[in-house]
Structure 1
Amino acid sequence: MLEVSRKQALAYRIAEQGLHRSVADPYDLPLLDLGLQDSMRDTALLSLAARMPDPVTPESLVDDQRLALVWSHRGAPHFHRRTDLPELAAALVPIDEPDALARMLWQKKDIQAVDESPVDIIFTTARAIRKVVTKPMTKGAVSTEITKLLPPAYSRWCRPCNATHVHEQLMRIAALHGGARLEAGQSPATLAPLEERGRLSTRPVPAAVSRVLEQYLRFNGPATPGDAAGFVGTAKTCIRETWPDAVTEVKVDGRRTFVPNDRLAALENPPSPAGVRLLPPLDPYTQGRDKAVLVPDKARAKEVWKILGSPGAILVDGEILGTWRMKASGKRLTFALTEFDPLRRADRAAAEDEAARAASARGYPDFSVTWA
């Protein structure tokens, strides 16, 4: 059995995730096979800036008609290639009732209390979304309208909204099946009908689920079945029948993990990571589920992954050696960088260059950098 060190595994991930900046066109970034998570803090755009050799602009993702923003893995918004959406939708069809329930995540108990099949609940909601979303509509408007069409048990009283509406996670995991996408760059969140909706399919496609799990192992491997299930947003027990065949067991510092067969050579001889990258919160690299592998020091890990409002990570020669935050004030963007240990002068300068790239990506010509 192949055994690799933690540093070797991280060097492999950095290369697979495109952090060596070897791909010029965002559409060709292999990481889009899995998707690029976004948030209102432009995380997808900043993740792209960390991977593209040329500067990116605020329009790089929003205006690229080859891409679409949809609620996908775990109900989180991700950019995907439009051509990949049919297979993605197939991969998001629950395999069975326990899988459907597990995908409800924090609202699992609410759905469990409904005297109805969780699979049926998802697709009943999807049909309502398909009926309602025939033009761009805010998320709140969609929620209001589909709540009227759905059984009362699908909804709950929401104190922040001061209204009764459909469960949030339920709407998110049903949206793509309902032929709805998100309008990129819009606030508040706005849904729109997919230009090529296709038919609603409720049939499980185990092979499609297997491919998503295999893609996770490619970009975040070597990893465990539990890691992969966590990314998908389901329970480890729910992926036993869809675990990919073309994977090989690998030990990482004694830990039992897996990697796709066709990536073994890349894992054995990854290029050495070099240089500095500012990775935003929710970056695919720090989204790896095995946080103790990414940052073994528990105190430092707590600084990287906060319960609320995590910062970005400063990646230096393959190790996370600090955190960073940015704040906009008018037309000026301020970066606050915090190093765990004093960095070399050259690494500090490189980090400030990366801050300039991030500021440009967000459309701020005026910015400043402070160190702590």
Structure 2
Amino acid sequence: MIERQQVRRYRFHTQQLDREHGTVADTAVLDLGVQDTGPDGALWALELRGVDTAGLGAAAEHHADLVWLWTLRGAPHCYRRSDAAAVAAAVAPWSEADASKRIFDASKPLKDAGIPVLDALDAVAGQMRAIVKEPMVKGEMSTRLHEAMPEPYQRYCRSCDAVHLYEMPFRLSAVRAGLELVPDTSPPVLQPMPGFAVAGEYPDRLDPVRAYLRLLGPATHKQVAEYVDAPVREVKARWPEDAVEVEVEGETRWMLEADVDALQGAEAAGTRLLGPYDLFLQARDRSTLVSDPAKAKALWPVLGRPGAVIVDGDIAGLWRPRKSGKRFTVAVDPWRDLEGPERKAVEVEAEKLAAFRGMALSGVDWAG
């Protein structure tokens, strides 16, 4: 029987949140992809894991080691550039049913028109590849695709008051077309990856099911399916043969056999200010992280997520950045009484965040 606290400690350690120094090459979360949402996205997540990110987001010539792609759930994720071709293969839909689920309501008009979804994704990717020969803003590419693709691929967008491609086929086709996202661009800019071709196979470490079990296990089939955005039966069909059952407070879950000892003996030490979309917070078993429904609602609101203060593997409060002119503060809402050394550790992390943002910290505002 494994307690939830032990699961949290295991994830804290296996996601390398307890290390001070690391490299792109040895950072485990890059196998599953580091979601890049908000100003404290992928690079801050790497910084928290000991990677010196100075310069990595400043200009295109500094991106030799990292690449940004639209992948799982259509979200932008950061990966090792050397893995790009294999990642494209690893995150591709496994079947027609899987592809239909991943593109949501865009699948119905395609099916009504007799167009297989996998063929549709390839068709969109082919057009993207033909259109984007140099960096291009998403809106321009969308206009060009609207002119090139037939009606079943398109919808009326109320917010834009225009007809354009459904969003998920657009996003999921980009990596098939060999297009990367230029980081820190809004609206998004895409550019071709020279000499890119989707790999014919990929290493086990990039398999989304195995990577989830390794980094966010123990987990159920449903939890993995929700993360990948795939049908549960498709995940079950690709369940690793070396996954073994463990009991987490009465619930049967699975993890890779090689990681069981690490789970049982896991310890966590350290304080971090997790970004709102850090992988630690992306687990689909939120009650394992936060058992109080009111606190869970505060950590994962529909809009405007805060970051999480994590101390020794346990979430100890919320934080939000506050910027006013040249002043940069971090507002912290503790969920329990933090001792003097714990508060000092939070302040040290706030200093790191300010430095990461290229600013001086004006202070930490403690709620209560």
TM-score normalised over the length of structure 2: 0.92
Matched, 1:229 2:225: yes
2:237 corresponds to which of 238, 241, 245: 241
Q: Distance in 1 between matches of 2:65 and 2:312?
A: 33
CA deviation after TM superposition for structure 1 residue 192, in Å: 0.3
- In structure 1, the residue matched to 2:66 is 67
Q: Distance in 2 between matches of 1:290 and 1:61?
A: 35
Matched, 1:24 2:22: yes
Matched, 1:357 2:352: yes
Matched residue of 1:222: which SS?
coil
1:334-359: CA deviation from partner (whole Å, max 9, x where unpaired): 31111122221221221111111111
Read off the aligned partner of 1:78 and give its amino acid letter.
H
Q: Distance in 2 between matches of 1:37 and 1:312?
A: 14
1:161-205: CA deviation from partner (whole Å, max 9, x where unpaired): 23211111111111100110000122221000012312x68x8x6
- In structure 1, the residue matched to 2:168 is 169
Matched, 1:97 2:92: no
Matched residue of 1:140: which SS?
helix
1:192-238: CA deviation from partner (whole Å, max 9, x where unpaired): 0012312x68x8x6987982200110000011111111111212122
Q: Distance in 2 between matches of 1:193 and 1:166?
A: 20
Contact 1:38 1:44 in 2 (8 A): yes
TM-score normalised over the length of structure 1: 0.91
CA deviation after TM superposition for structure 1 residue 327, in Å: 3.0
Q: Distance in 2 between matches of 1:339 and 1:208?
A: 39
Q: Distance in 2 between matches of 1:47 and 1:321?
A: 18
Read off the aligned partner of 1:157 and give its amino acid letter.
Y
> Runs of 5+ in structure 1 lacking a partner?
none
Percent of pairs with identical residues:
35
Q: Distance in 2 between matches of 1:368 and 1:109?
A: 52
Read off the aligned partner of 2:56 and give its amino acid letter.
E
Matched, 1:40 2:38: yes
Matched residue of 1:354: which SS?
helix
- In structure 2, the residue matched to 1:315 is 310
Matched, 1:280 2:275: yes
CA deviation after TM superposition for structure 1 residue 246, in Å: 1.8
- In structure 1, the residue matched to 2:179 is 180
Q: CA 1:59 to 1:99, structure 2 compared with 1: closer, same or farther past 3 Å? A: same
Matched residue of 1:306: which SS?
coil
Q: CA 1:60 to 1:140, structure 2 compared with 1: closer, same or farther past 3 Å? A: closer
Q: Distance in 2 between matches of 1:359 and 1:108?
A: 44
CA deviation after TM superposition for structure 1 residue 133, in Å: 1.2
Q: CA 1:239 to 1:210, structure 2 compared with 1: closer, same or farther past 3 Å? A: farther
Q: Distance in 2 between matches of 1:107 and 1:339?
A: 43
Of 257-266 and 110-119, the range deviating more from structure 2: 110-119
- In structure 1, the residue matched to 2:54 is 57
1:248-294: CA deviation from partner (whole Å, max 9, x where unpaired): 11111111111112212211211x21231100110000001100111
Matched residue of 1:286: which SS?
helix
Q: Distance in 2 between matches of 1:367 and 1:235?
A: 48
Q: Distance in 1 between matches of 2:363 and 2:112?
A: 51
Q: Distance in 1 between matches of 2:148 and 2:326?
A: 44
CA deviation after TM superposition for structure 1 residue 106, in Å: 6.4
1:23-73: CA deviation from partner (whole Å, max 9, x where unpaired): 422332111111111023231122122221x76436368634111000111
Q: CA 1:147 to 1:68, structure 2 compared with 1: closer, same or farther past 3 Å? A: same
Q: Distance in 1 between matches of 2:2 and 2:17?
A: 20
Q: CA 1:108 to 1:347, structure 2 compared with 1: closer, same or farther past 3 Å? A: farther
Q: CA 1:153 to 1:311, structure 2 compared with 1: closer, same or farther past 3 Å? A: same
Contact 1:103 1:233 in 2 (8 A): yes
- In structure 1, the residue matched to 2:250 is 254
Matched, 1:371 2:362: no
- In structure 2, the residue matched to 1:266 is 262
Matched residue count: 365
- In structure 1, the residue matched to 2:85 is 86
Of 207-216 and 85-94, the range deviating more from structure 2: 207-216
Q: CA 1:357 to 1:22, structure 2 compared with 1: closer, same or farther past 3 Å? A: closer
- In structure 2, the residue matched to 1:212 is 208
Matched, 1:343 2:342: no
Read off the aligned partner of 1:227 and give its amino acid letter.
Q
Matched residue of 2:316: which SS?
strand
Contact 1:37 1:77 in 2 (8 A): yes
Of 38-47 and 314-323, the range deviating more from structure 2: 38-47
Read off the aligned partner of 1:245 and give its amino acid letter.
E
Read off the aligned partner of 1:96 and give its amino acid letter.
S
Matched residue of 1:309: which SS?
coil
Contact 2:91 2:208 in 1 (8 A): no
Contact 2:110 2:117 in 1 (8 A): yes
